[in-house]
Amino acid sequence: MKLKLEEEDSGKMEGKRKKLESKKSENGILLLDKIKVFTRSLLVNLTNRKSPIILIDRFKNHCTLSDSNCFCGSDLPVGKEVLTLCKETHVRRLDVMLRVLVIVQKLLQENKHSSKRDIYYMHPSVFLDQSVVDHAINDICVLMQCSRHNLNVVSAGNGLVMGWIRFVEGKKIFDCISSPDTAHPIPVYVEEIKDIVSAARYILVVEKESVFQRLANDQFCKSNHCIVISGRGYPDIPTRRFLRLLVENLHIPAYCLVDCDPYGFDILTTYRFGSMQMAYDTKHLRVPEIHWLGAFPSDSERYFVPKQCLLPLTAEDKRKIEAMLLRCYLQREVPQWRLELKMMLQKGVKFEIEALSVHTLSFLTESYIPSKIHGKVQI
């Protein structure tokens, strides 16, 4: 009987895998067709001695309009860029785009994957800088109306996960539950993740690896039945897509713990609202459900952070905060976040999460995080 069930299960899994693979190849064929149509129209124009006109939609994840009449963060473009062969900079941009497009076409045809860095090293003397390749990949995604992973372009994963979760990526099993305080790398092929099983009560996202390590050393996941994720600074695409996948599938709260400084706040907004560079794909990358757990500027008094742990804001910090205060989504969606950010500027100081460990080494895991989560001191 057991054997039969297992056979049925493996049959089901095989069916699921085949379905996933056929969907992937369908997407690949569709994209290859789009690439063909695009390049053919360029060629037709050129052979007819006409300068092709390429329209690229522009997306924004925020603006500085004080009223809420903007399309930031939505699926709607805020305008169009018009590329022609009359401008030298446009010719160069198109040249790079076509070179990258040829590489992408080959990746899709051969069902292979490549990193942005690999692509750069295919023509380093032409591309000159990684950012040029990144820009071209974004242009291609906008033109082809797809996400970056659809082009088979992936980034080397930088994120970490631990806690009460088990899932399968392709044929690999990530069994974090068997040792909930051991770090696992976040998979790069997030679209291949399936069979997510979890008994976690919440997801905690921490900005820094050092804080992740502190939690691991204190066996935080084991005693708090949670999942902890770190993007190790600004989160990469797989980390953000993975977090979004978990929130969508598990329906549990997600909290974010960052340094109390302008960079920490910017990282927090990247998780919740996405980034400007990837604004065309915001709908797949942002996690609107995420709450800010800390550290708030007001925490320095609430948790008695000694004065010597508070660092003065630099002129650059102040400029960054002033610019962030103008972002339209803060006023519209999280006015309380904005108030705390304003307080950071008024107080003129910043502090790291680790400053809370001044009381005891385990203050963060034994007092601070539990008091924030259970006392609902999060915004």
Question: Is residue 32 at the binding interface for Zn ion, with CB under 5 A as the rule?
Answer: no
Name the one range near Zn ion by CB under 5 A: 55-63, 98-106, 191-199, 208-216.
55-63
* Residues 286 and 272: beta-carbon distance below 8 Å: yes
Among all chains, which residue has been given the structure tokens 């999060």?
378
- For residues 194 and 279, give the distance between their C-alpha atoms in angstroms, rounded to a whole number: 26
Residue 121 annotated to the active site: yes
Q: Which tokens hold the place of 336?
A: 């309380």
By CB under 5 A, what part of segment 315-354 binds Zn ion? 328
User: Which C-beta is closer to Zn ion: that of 208 or that of 327?
Assistant: 327
**Residue 72 sits in the site that holds Zn ion (CB under 5 A):** yes
Count of residues of this chain found to bind Zn ion when the rule CB under 5 A is applied: 4
Tell me which stretch binds Zn ion (CB under 5 A): 66-74, 194-202, 206-214, 310-318: 66-74
Cβ neighbours of residue 71 under 8 Å, at least 6 residues apart? 60, 77, 78
228: how many CB neighbours lie within 10 A of its CB?
Answer: 28
Residue 70 makes contact with Zn ion by CB under 5 A: yes
| Nearer Cβ to Zn ion (167/273) | 273
Which residue lies nearer to Zn ion by CB, 157 or 288?
Answer: 288
Q: How many angstroms separate the CA atoms of 153 and 147, rounded?
A: 9
Q: Which amino acid is at 154?
A: V
Cα distance between residue 340 and residue 296, in whole Å: 6
Question: Measured from the CB of residue 276, what is the shortest distance to Zn ion in angstroms?
Answer: 11
List, in sequence order, every residue forming a beta bridge with 311; answer none if it has no partner. 350
CB of 325 to Zn ion, least distance (A): 14
Question: Could you tell me which of 206, 212, 227, 159 has the C-alpha nearest to residue 187?
Answer: 159
- Give the shortest CB-281-to-Zn ion separation in angstroms: 17
Q: Which is nearer to Zn ion, 38 or 337 (CB)?
A: 337
Q: Locate 327 and state its tokens.
A: 């972002």
The residue among 60 and 149 lying less far from Zn ion, judged by its C-beta, is: 60
- 278 is an interface residue for Zn ion by CB under 5 A: no
Query: Smallest distance from the beta carbon of 240 to Zn ion, in angstroms?
Result: 20
Q: Which element (helix H / strand E) includes 272?
A: helix 262-273
Q: Name the maximum alpha-carbon separation found in the chain.
A: 75
Answer yes or no whether residue 227 interacts with Zn ion by CB under 5 A: no
Of 121, 255, 263, 280, which residue is the catalytic one? 121
Minimum CB separation of residue 235 from Zn ion in Å reads 22
Q: Which residues contact 276 (CB under 8 A, 6 or more apart)?
A: 60, 61, 62
Does 63 interact with Zn ion (rule: CB under 5 A)?
yes
Which residues are known catalytic residues?
A: 121
Binding residues (CB under 5 A) for Zn ion: these are 63, 70, 72, 328
